[in-house]
Amino acid sequence: MSRFPVAISLGAFGADLVRERGQASFIPLLVEAGVTRIELREELFTAELSQQDFPALAQAIQAQGLECLYSAPLELWLEGQTLPNPQLEPTLRRASTCGAAWLKVSLGHFDGDKDFAALADCLSRHDVQLLVENDQTPQGGRIEPFSAFFAQVKALQLPIGMTFDIGNWLWQGQSNRSAAEQLGPYVEYVHCKAVSRNASGKLVAVPPRQTDLHLWEQLLKHMPVGLPRAIEYPLQGDDLLQITREQVAYLARLGQRHSPASTEALSHV
């Protein structure tokens, strides 16, 4: 049975560990685990890693045959501004220097009164595709602004896709099923995370159980077949390679016909 492509958002290994070891150190583990794409996280680069080191990082990723996506904690639209975030341009440059084919940002404050011509002009100067993700904020985590934004993207035929974060919708009380039904055609990348409340009542990302995988299967039916899907939930344990390999295998099968043996309960997760 063929496998659909799986990515790992490096924050899944824990921010402290990734900052301590460096993002490049996880490349061999990802390759051994069967990952297709590495998602670099801008917020996890340390001050010691200057942009002069980015070409070497790009070369290391390319040498292992991995695709590369660059994720930045950047809002595409700032409140009260019609022009795109002025930090978009330098962020696109950093993504390109890392060898990334995609840059993932948040939507930000979209109200319809935005300068799409300026956005298109900015994007035309870089060989990096923009992906816009739903985050956990009131402005960037609701369905309605995304529907309006991508309606304009479609009308203008801009090369912008959506990163659909399954879990993030819950922070704003949104239905991820409704989001998939309305936004599915625009999705080019899926962030997978189950969500639970911790002891203090705070929502947190957790590994999936069988019920979560079943839900994700249903959501993927509203999107193009075989989309890259990313692990964005904790990958922790003594045998990090084995844990990662197992989770990659689960996600790689989502959206395919399964044999009974491939739907084992995830009681150990």
pLDDT tens for each residue of 27-62: 999 999 999 999 999 999 987 666 668 999 999 999
**In the predicted model, what is the mean pLDDT of residues 179-205?**
97
What is the percentage of the chain residues whose pLDDT exceeds 90?
Answer: 90
Give the pLDDT of residue 126. 97
Provide the pLDDT confidence category of residue 257 given band limits of 50, 70 and 90.
low
Q: Average pLDDT, whole number, for the chain?
A: 93
CA 245, CA 261: separation in Å to the nearest integer?
A: 17
SS3 104: strand
Q: What is the pLDDT of residues 78-133, one digit of tens each?
A: 999 999 999 999 999 999 999 999 999 999 999 989 999 999 999 999 999 999 99
Provide the pLDDT confidence category of residue 250 given band limits of 50, 70 and 90.
very high
Sole residue written with tokens 């999936």:
208
Residue 236 CB partners (closer than 8 Å, separation 6+) = 13, 14, 243
Please count the residues of the chain. Answer: 269
**In the predicted model, what is the mean pLDDT of residues 138-149?**
98
Q: 125 near 155, Cβ under 8 Å?
A: no
Residue 263 CB partners (closer than 8 Å, separation 6+) = 210, 213
Domains within the chain, CATH numbers bracketed: 6-263 (3.20.20.150)
